[in-house]
């Protein structure tokens, strides 16, 4: 099993460009999450999904959109990238929502917006 994979691993964008980050998991998990990690701050939740076809906003959703058309995939889109979106993005998945449901993280995508 590959676990949680993310594509791409690195990307440089110019301000105003758009892109989509792909997260895929092969563990049949219901819950999927997108986080961003910035220096001096803890991981912050952007959007999450509690099942195929559902999405919901997290703490910092502005400037991002998501889709969960298939259970195994969770896409994060930036329609018009801004320098403030320079960050490392992590996708995670979990089987359920109970307190002991471990979240499995992908390797991260390092995004730079110039």
Partner 1 sequence: KNEVEQSPQNLTAQEGEFITINCSYSVGISALHWLQQHPGGGIVSLFMLSSGKKKHGRLIATINIQEKHSSLHITASHPRDSAVYICAVRAPYGGATNKLIFGTGTLLAVQP
Interface residue list for partner 1 (CB under 8 A): 31, 33, 40-45, 48, 50, 56, 58, 90, 92, 94, 96-108
Instruction: Take residue 92 and report the two structure tokens written for it.
Output: 């995670």
Query: Residue for token digits 């390797």?
Result: 107
For residue 1, the minimal CB distance to partner 1 (Å) is 15
Tell me if 30 sits within 8 A of 51, measured CB to CB: yes
Q: Identify whether 8 is preceded by a cis peptide bond (ω within 30 of 0).
A: yes
For residue 94, the minimal CB distance to partner 1 (Å) is 5
For residue 93, the minimal CB distance to partner 1 (Å) is 10
Q: Identify which of residues 14 and 99 has a Cβ nearer to partner 1 in the complex.
A: 99
Q: Residue 93 in 3-state DSSP?
A: strand
């Amino acid at each position: 099993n590959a676990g949680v994979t993310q594509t791409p691993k690195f990307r440089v964008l110019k301000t105003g460009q758009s892109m989509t980050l792909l997260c895929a998991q092969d563990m049949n998990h219901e819950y999927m999450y997108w986080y961003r990690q910035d220096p001096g701050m803890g991981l912050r939740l952007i959007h999450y999904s509690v099942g195929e076809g559902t999405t919901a906003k997290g703490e910092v959703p502005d400037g991002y959109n998501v889709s969960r058309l298939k259970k195994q995939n969770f896409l994060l889109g930036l329609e018009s990238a801004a320098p403030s979106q320079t960050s490392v993005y992590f996708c995670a998945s979990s089987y359920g929502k109970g307190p002991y449901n471990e979240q499995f993280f992908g390797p991260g995508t390092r995004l730079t917006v110039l």
